[in-house]
Structure 1
Amino acid sequence: MTRWVVIFDDTPGMLVHRREFGAAHIDYLERHSDRILVGGGLRPVPDAPFVGGMWIVEAGTYDEVVDLVLNDPYFIPDHRRFRILAWGKAIDREVVL
């Protein structure tokens, strides 16, 4: 399995979509927690509106990660862009967040 980082960049219009689909998105993350290991929103500073998000994913292929992104209720092409990068973890030890 390869570790992947998915970086999401949102337009301001994504905030409305977040409010409407937040519960469905969290359910989706929970259903796929065997592959989406860590996920969360990104802000420029604490308490500012979200401007994107990040996932750490374990998957065999790039296409599997793309599938996870495209099937997430949060994904809306007009307001959310994403990049997928293979990740080589320098310090490989268990981390509890």
Structure 2
Amino acid sequence: MLFAVIFTDRSGQGTLRAEHLTAHIEWVAAHQDVVLVAGSLRSEPEAIPRGGLWVVDAASKQEVLDLMKSDPFYTCGLRDRVDVFYWSKALQRKVLV
């Protein structure tokens, strides 16, 4: 089952994000079998990220929530809000590189 996960970071935490970025990227790479797509969300290309987005392949919403709890961005307290949505892919072609 596919899920879209939208993270909103705590305001004013760019330094905290930067401190944990390498560990977060390594964590995402180690979980790329289930975290199919991951990236930051910004208001402008060069702005400090305000959150992130994942597309996750998991058996249940609870599995997504349990997985997220081991992400360094979650464990360091960066995340303010997390929304997990069931996602239905509309196009069957690969659209991401």
The alignment's TM-score, normalised by the length of structure 2, stands at 0.89
Q: How many residues align?
A: 96
The CA deviation at 1:76 is 4.7
Pairing 1:11-22 to 2, within 5 Å after superposition: 11-22=10-21
Pairing 1:14-93 to 2, within 5 Å after superposition: 14-76=13-75, 78-80=77-79, 81-93=81-93
Q: Which runs of 4+ in 1 moved over 3 A?
A: 76-79
Give a deviation string over 1:11-41, Cα, whole Å, max 9, x none: 2233122111111101100110000011000
Q: Secondary structure at the match of 2:74?
A: coil
Of residues 14-23 and 59-68 in structure 1, the stretch that sits farther from structure 2 once superposed is: 14-23
Please give the alpha-carbon distance, in whole angstroms, between the structure 2 residues aligned to 1:37 and 1:78.
23
The alignment's TM-score, normalised by the length of structure 1, stands at 0.89
Mark the runs of 5 or more structure 1 residues left unpaired by the alignment: none
Q: Secondary structure at the match of 1:20?
A: helix
Please give the alpha-carbon distance, in whole angstroms, between the structure 2 residues aligned to 1:18 and 1:79.
7
Conserved in 1, the CA contact under 8 Å of 2:38 and 2:54? yes
Identity of aligned residues (%): 39
Conserved in 2, the CA contact under 8 Å of 1:7 and 1:84? yes
Residue number in structure 1 paired with 2:4: 5
The letter for the 1-side match of 2:93 is R
The letter for the 2-side match of 1:13 is G
Of residues 73-82 and 9-18 in structure 1, the stretch that sits farther from structure 2 once superposed is: 73-82
Mark the runs of 5 or more structure 2 residues left unpaired by the alignment: none
The CA deviation at 1:90 is 1.0
RMSD: 1.6
